[in-house]
Amino acid sequence: MYLLTPIIAWLTAQSLKLLIESWRNKGIDLKRFWGAGGMPSSHAAGSVALTTVLWRDLGYNEPVVAVAFTFTVIVLYDAANIRRETGRQAELLNKMVEAFRQQSQFTEERLKELLGHTPLQVLAGTLLGFFIGYFI
């Protein structure tokens, strides 16, 4: 169950992300199922689900729960901060590349911009992961 729970949380978050993006864009883009970024954060959902199921079954005073909790805090921080800033940098670089392209024969490919999450997306993934981890 300790492996299955975060997988279920990840699959649920990715499925919700696909549905939300399909509704928002009025069309299905199956690449969004495997893509990073978006609502809710599947990274948050999976790591929180694992930490929650370990905490629920073993209690808070077990070393493995402390390790999972630490791992989860790092994942949440990364999703909401580092990867989000990387996406912002990619967006800026893409604008620069487009400007160069208009002036010359510049042929660089666009960088992927949707990498991280807003705090709301991380919160939604955290809540989803907690409920899946607690009730499964």
**pLDDT (0 to 100) of residue 22:** 75
Using alpha carbons, select from 79, 78, 74, 53 the residue that is nearest to residue 65: 53
Answer yes or no: is pLDDT of 80 > 60.
Answer: yes
Q: Are 118 and 87 in contact (CB under 8 A)?
A: no
Rounded Cα distance, 121 and 80, in Å? 8
More confident residue, 4 or 20: 4
Answer yes or no: is pLDDT of 111 > 70.
Answer: no
More confident residue, 40 or 90: 40
Residue 63: asked if its preceding bond is cis (omega within 30°), the reply is no
**pLDDT (0 to 100) of residue 115:** 58
Answer yes or no: is pLDDT of 95 > 80.
Answer: no
